[in-house]
Amino acid sequence: MRLTKEELKDLMKKKLNKAGLTEEHADGVADVLVHADARGVHSHGAMRVEYYAERIAKGGLNTAPNFKFEKTGPTTAIFDGDNGVGHVAAKLAMDEAIQMAKENGIAVVGVRRIGHSGALSYFVQQAAEQDLIGLSLCQSDPMVVPFGGAEPYYGTNPIAFAAPGEDDIITFDMATTVQAWGKILHARSKNESIPDTWAVDKNGEPTTDPFNVNALLPIAGPKGYGLMMMVDVLSGILLGLPFGNRVSSMYHDLSEGRNLGQLHIVINPEYFTNLETFKQNITTTMSDLNNIKPAPGFDQVSYPGQRSAQREAAYMEKGIEIVDDVYEYLVSDVVHNNAYGNKDPFAK
C-alpha cells in the first residue's frame, strides 16, 4: 500500500489520538514516525503505532506528562519527560538545546524519564536546519551480547549526528549493533530472512531466522561494544537513570513507564569558525565523497544520509510504501490487539 506523507501521518495521528494521546502529542509522535517511513527506515515508522497504542492503553505512557526543563548551568540542562511519549519530549528538549547553543555556542541537554523516542535522525536534523551541529544518543533494551559474552547486557544504544551544508544536511544515524532491533521486527512483519551477521539464537549461534533471534551482535566486535558502553554512560548513568541490563524492557510490563534517557549535544559553528565557510566545506565533503571512484559492485560513493534523502524524494513522488498488515491496522477501528504485553525483549 502506498500513501502520501500527509495521508500516512494523518492515519497515525488519528490512531494515537484514539489510543489516548492528546491531539498535540499524537501529531508530534506521528511527525517523527512519518519522518522515518519517508526515509525508508520503516522499523521506526508506522509499524510502531500499535505497540505505542497498547502501552498507552495499559498506562505505560503518561498521556498528560508534566514536562520540566531546568537549566543546570549556562550550557547544560535537564528535561524531565515524566514518562510521556519520548518523541515529543526529545523534540522539545532539542528545541531548548538549539536556543541555548545559539546563545552560548554549545548545549548539552539530558532528557530523563521518557518512553521510546523513535529515529534519532529527526532530532539532530532539527539542529542542522538551524545551522547548528546536532548529536544525540539514547538507551535501549538490554538485548546485545557484549564482545566475548554469551548473555545480553547493553541495548542497541543508537547515535545520530547531523551538520548543515549549503543546500543539504549530512546525517548519520546508527545503532551500535550490526543492525537495529527494529530492522528485525521489520523482517518479521514481511516474513523475510536476515543476514547471519546480525544476531544469534539461544545457543549463541548465528541465525538467519528473525523469529529465532535471542541476542544482537555489536558492530565491529569490541569497537561497537565500547560505543554502546559510552552511550549507556552518557544517556543513563550520567542522568541518574537505570543502566546496562537494568534498563527496562520494551515489552515486559506495558503498565509501567520506561524511564529511558537521551542526551542531546548541540554545537554552534559560529563559535568556532565562519558559518558560511563551514557550510561550504560540508558541501565540499559531500561532493568529494560522491566523486570518489566506487568499488566494484557500487555505482557511487554516497555521503551519510544521502540515500535516505533520495528515498524520501522518491516517496514524495510515488507515495510511502506500507506493509498491508500495518495499513489495515491503521484504518481499522481497533486500538490495539493486545499483542505486545508481557513478552521478553525478543517478542514474537
Q: How far is CA 89 from the centre of its chain?
A: 13
What span, in angstroms and rounded, lies between the C-alpha atoms of 47 and 12?
Answer: 10
Annotated catalytic residue, options 25, 87, 116, 186:
116
Alpha-carbon Rg for the chain in angstroms: 20
> Which helix (H) or strand (E) element contains residue 107?
strand 106-114
User: Cβ atoms within 10 A of the Cβ of 238, count?
Assistant: 14
In this structure, is the dihedral angle defined by the CA atoms of residues 275, 105, 114 and 175, taken in order, positive or negative? positive
Verify whether residue 116 is a known catalytic residue.
yes
Burial label, 333 (beta-carbon count in 10 A; 0-12, 13-18, 19+): exposed
DSSP three-state, residue 154: strand
79 - beta bridge partners? 69, 111
State residue 89 phi and psi, 5-degree precision.
-60, -45
Question: Given the DSSP bridges, would you call strands 215-216 and 199-200 parallel, antiparallel or unpaired?
Answer: antiparallel
Cell, residue 17? 489520538
Burial label, 115 (beta-carbon count in 10 A; 0-12, 13-18, 19+): buried
Cell, residue 122? 529527526
DSSP assignment letter at 34: H
What span, in angstroms and rounded, lies between the C-alpha atoms of 125 and 128?
Answer: 5
Instruction: Using the structure block, give the residue that is written with the C-alpha cell 513478552.
Output: 343
Question: Given the DSSP bridges, would you call strands 68-73 and 260-267 parallel, antiparallel or unpaired?
Answer: unpaired
**Contact criterion met (CB below 8 Å) for 144 and 154:** yes
DSSP assignment letter at 346: T
What span, in angstroms and rounded, lies between the C-alpha atoms of 214 and 243?
Answer: 20
**Contact criterion met (CB below 8 Å) for 286 and 114:** no
Any idea which residues carry the catalytic annotation? Answer: 116
